[in-house]
Chains A and B, each alone.
Chain A
Amino acid sequence: MARYDEATRTIRMLDKHCEVLSRACIENQGIIVDEQDGAKAIADLQAHRLVFRLDERDPYVQVNRVVSELFHHATQNYRRRLSSGAVDDLFDQLKHAISGYLATADRGLMRDQKVYESEIQEIVAHLIDTLREITQRFAGYVRNEFSMVSDLSQRIRENERAIREASQLNDLFATLTPDVLSELARSDRLLSHLLKKVLGRAVSSCADELHDALHKLRENLSKLQDDQRYREHNELIDTLLQHYQRNPGYQPGLEQYRSIPRIFRAAERLELKAHPPIDSPTEERALSDIAQQALARIAADEQPERQRQEPPLVPVKDCRDGVFLAEPEPVEQALRQMFEILPQLAEQQPASSLACLSYLDLEIDPELWLVCVADHYANSDYAKGDRLSMRFRERSLPGYSGNHLVEDIEFRLVSTAEYT
């Protein structure tokens, strides 16, 4: 008898604290926290070994596995009922009842029509309840973020499953359009009211709610996936650092792998080089042509060299507005030459001012040259919106916040389309 009594008392205790246990098992991973309200329940449940405390210092108790499984079993039917399949079934039943209703109405069978009428009302009410319950279930998922599952991977899987189900349900809602419902209702007053107004409104509000839930579930999933990625990365860092500490001088190697994995196959920089076969007699003619062309180019290049030796005189105003001819300033001349050639130089890639300086016959400090270039550009037509844009190549000076050292000035040719 004592055994029966014990069983009865335990079942009563479950019934007494059903609410606390339900909340713990369904929403809180089977944990009951020591709170004002929970203290009495914990004491009762502990007395019947329905909960246990692993460590006396823990501020919570864990529901016994057998009790958790009981709740899981009890909610199985609910979960099955709340699948989108259930909505499908109900909708099929509704269509069947509507066709029966319309057929009896056509034939004037009033009594049978009444039977179908009440069946349709019942199905519509049931359908609305089911839709609401399902959408609320998804809202619940969003609210508790599957906190009843402690394992992150499992939580991700649950979230993915919920998204799949919600997407299926969303597809179903997409089929319950006003047109479809209107077609089902035809011109019948009762059906129009039930399907277009009552069901239509419920479907629309549930679809909105589901849409929100789906969006939040996706956000949750992305957050959970990030968390998992970070956790795995952290684990990897700690593991390898521990490995290095335990095995000083550890060096991984690739030699032992028969096939090198793709991740270690990163190709080195490919050098594109070509060497002319200068000793080959078959290429003698071609080489001779190249050499002659090069000589001709040098001869052409010598022309401006001669001109440089005798620079043209330019008119210069003195302080009394008197004009006389003088040799141009070498810097000014160099700047003019550089800006003449810049549009061609900057056509393919940015042209560097310092690189230009190295080709000019000018002895000047690079810093001063850059100042002159910037000044010349600012006073030129290019700065007034022509097709040449200027950019400083600079780096910040460590220790002098906000100060930058200009290392070079680059010019780029702005394309006509870009310019327009």
Chain B
Amino acid sequence: MSNATFRHVTEKLLQGELLCEVSDEAGYLYLQLEDNLDRVNQHLAVLGRGVALTSDMTGYYCVYLDVEDKGVRNRLNHQFHALATKWEALLMWLRLTRQLSPEAHPLSARDILKESELLGAIESSSALQAELESIAQRFQMRGKVDPRTRLNQLLRFLEKEGFLVERHPSVYQATARWSMLQDQMEFIRQQEGIQLADREHDQASAQEQEQLI
């Protein structure tokens, strides 16, 4: 069992897959044991790779250990650009699903998305329909279709990109790829010195108060 799982996990990681409770529960649980993680890491190290974990510890993925190689660097740059072009649309999708969440929580790993519930809310609001269309356009989805088809297209697209897994017909579950995205965005925000919206607002009101005084 252990050897079979080891082989399965290593293969999946080498295939560039992210292992989380949603995408591959057995693999995720296997890697949660330190001995297993060490074993996989030792094996991958021979190939110049290692296992990384998202900051909220919900997903494992394979990373290059040495990025000094020019080819690897180019590949990573290319990969990053391909992903970064989708960031704005993904952020809009996160905002949309947050609006539809009863507690205004952003979409996170393990969250369930029911297509019918999303559709019900979207169909009853023209603003949400416009937002949905705007997201679809940013994902290069062309043609005029009704919200039902558009939502289905988006969900299928996110499933294909590894952000969602279809648990039952029309019921999706978010994977740890959202956590990975959050980590990446947080890094870029910090590095580029983009100030958090609330803190910026706090500073602005503090300055306003100072001026008044």
Contacts and interface: CB of A to CB of B under 8 A. Distances in A.
Interface of A: 229-230, 233-244, 251-255, 257, 259-270, 395-396, 398-399, 401-402, 404
A252 B186 CA distance: 12
A266 B52 CA distance: 8
A395 B76 CA distance: 34
Nearest to A246: B194
A267 B197 contact: no
Contacts of B43: none
Given A230-B105, A233-B182, A396-B170, A263 B194 contact: no
Contacts of A239: 189, 194-197, 200
Contacts of A257: 191
A34 to B, nearest CB: 25
B52 A241 contact: no
A419 B106 CA distance: 44
Contacts of B91: 237, 240-241, 244
Chain A to chain B: the 4 pairs with minimum beta-carbon distance, closest first = A396-B169, A265-B63, A269-B16, A270-B14
Chain B interface, >50% SS class: helix
A230 B194 contact: no
Given A263-B187, A264-B80, A270-B47, A241 B63 contact: no
Nearest to A252: B188
Contacts of A269: 14-16
B98 A237 contact: yes
Interface string B42-72: 0000010100100010000111100100000
A234 B185 contact: no
B154 interface: no
Interface stretch (B20-28, B29-37, B82-90, B122-130): B82-90
29 contacts: A230-B108, A233-B108, A236-B182, A236-B189, A237-B95, A238-B95, A239-B196, A239-B197, A239-B200, A240-B91, A240-B189, A240-B194, A241-B95, A244-B87, A244-B91, A251-B81, A251-B84, A251-B85, A252-B84, A255-B77, A260-B67, A263-B180, A266-B62, A267-B64, A269-B14, A269-B16, A270-B49, A398-B149, A401-B170
Contacts of A255: 77
Interface in B80-116: 80-81, 84-85, 87-88, 91-92, 94-95, 98, 104-106, 108
Contact of A398 (B95, B106, B152): B152
Contacts of B39: none
B182 A267 contact: no
A50 B186 CA distance: 43
Given A251-B81, A265-B63, 16 more contacts: A233-B182, A235-B197, A237-B106, A239-B189, A239-B196, A240-B194, A241-B91, A244-B91, A252-B87, A254-B80, A260-B67, A263-B183, A264-B187, A266-B79, A268-B79, A401-B170
B90 to A, nearest CB: 10
Given A268-B16, A270-B15, A262 B194 contact: no
A235 B196 contact: yes
Classify chain B: how many residues form its interface, as a range.
35 or more
Interface in B139-195: 148-149, 152, 169-170, 180, 182-189, 191-192, 194-195
Given A264-B76, A265-B76, A266-B79, A240 B106 contact: no
A267 B63 contact: yes
A290 B110 CA distance: 51
A262 B192 CA distance: 17
A342 B3 CA distance: 25
Given A254-B77, A265-B63, A266-B61, A242 B197 contact: yes
B54 to A, nearest CB: 8
Nearest to A397: B169
B209 to A, nearest CB: 11
A243 B192 CA distance: 11
A243 B193 CA distance: 11
Nearest to A265: B63
B198 interface: yes
A236 B185 contact: yes
Contacts of B84: 251-253
